[in-house]
């Protein structure tokens, strides 16, 4: 990876536009920021190469896909040394959307999408707790999930 450069105003504008809509064409992106398409393309390439953009992903409508019940599961493991492998294993579960390793009394927070409460119960009781090594698990149903699609900025 090349050395990190400082972001200028144009770089920040590009990142903000991509954060809101990763499907923008290069031509449309260039027009919005007032650059030639070749210059915009070069800047976007550099932002990817330097790791400012980790990826472009589609946000799926899990409810429309039949997984309308979301829950946040907090997990405390028996052994701290098992956190990494347990977290990696969670990513193989199709219901798992996000895994967060956190500080505090819990080790992991896991956002899942399930079909209904029976599916959620089976996921937690049979597949998560059944894996062994889980000291404590707590499940909270998500009533509403809001996600910002803006680039974070530094406080003044």
Query: pLDDT of 63-111, one tens digit each?
Result: 999 999 999 999 999 988 889 999 999 999 999 999 999 999 999 999 9
- Euclidean distance between the first and the last CA atom of the chain, given in angstroms as a whole number: 30
Closest CA to 110 of 93, 135, 122: 93
- Pull the structure tokens for residue 109: 């927070």
Q: Are 11 and 47 a contacting pair, CB within 8 Å?
A: yes
> What pTM was estimated for this model as a whole?
0.81
In angstroms, the CA 139 to CA 13 distance is 39
Those residues with Cβ within 8 angstroms of residue 86's Cβ, 6 or more apart along the chain or in another chain: 75, 77, 107, 108, 131, 133
Those residues with Cβ within 8 angstroms of residue 49's Cβ, 6 or more apart along the chain or in another chain: 1, 2
Q: Using a pLDDT cut of 70, give the percent of the chain over it.
A: 96
Closest CA to 44 of 57, 59, 29, 28: 29
**pLDDT higher than threshold 90 for residue 130:** no
In the structure, what pLDDT confidence band is assigned to residue 149 with cuts at 50, 70 and 90? Answer: confident
Question: What is the model's pLDDT at position 98?
Answer: 95
Q: Which domains are delineated in the chain?
A: 9-49 (1.10.10.10), 69-142 (3.30.70.920)
Those residues with Cβ within 8 angstroms of residue 128's Cβ, 6 or more apart along the chain or in another chain: 73, 75, 134, 137
Q: Which helix (H) or strand (E) holds 98?
A: strand 96-101
CA-based radius of gyration for the chain? 20
């Amino acid at each position: 990876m090349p050395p990190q450069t400082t972001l200028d105003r144009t770089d920040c504008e590009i990142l903000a536009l991509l954060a809101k809509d990763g499907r923008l064409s290069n031509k449309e992106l260039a027009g919005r920021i007032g650059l030639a398409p070749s210059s915009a393309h070069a800047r976007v390439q550099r932002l990817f190469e330097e790791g400012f953009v980790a990826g472009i992903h589609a946000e799926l409508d899990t409810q429309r896909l039949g997984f309308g019940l979301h829950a946040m599961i907090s997990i405390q493991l028996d052994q701290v040394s098992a956190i990494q492998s347990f977290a990696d294993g969670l990513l193989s579960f199709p219901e798992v959307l996000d895994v967060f390793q956190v500080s505090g009394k819990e080790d992991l927070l896991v956002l899942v999408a399930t079909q209904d409460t029976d599916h959620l119960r089976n996921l937690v009781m049979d597949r998560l707790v059944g894996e062994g090594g889980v000291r404590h698990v707590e499940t909270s149903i998500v009533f509403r999930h809001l996600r910002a699609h803006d680039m974070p900025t530094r406080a003044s």
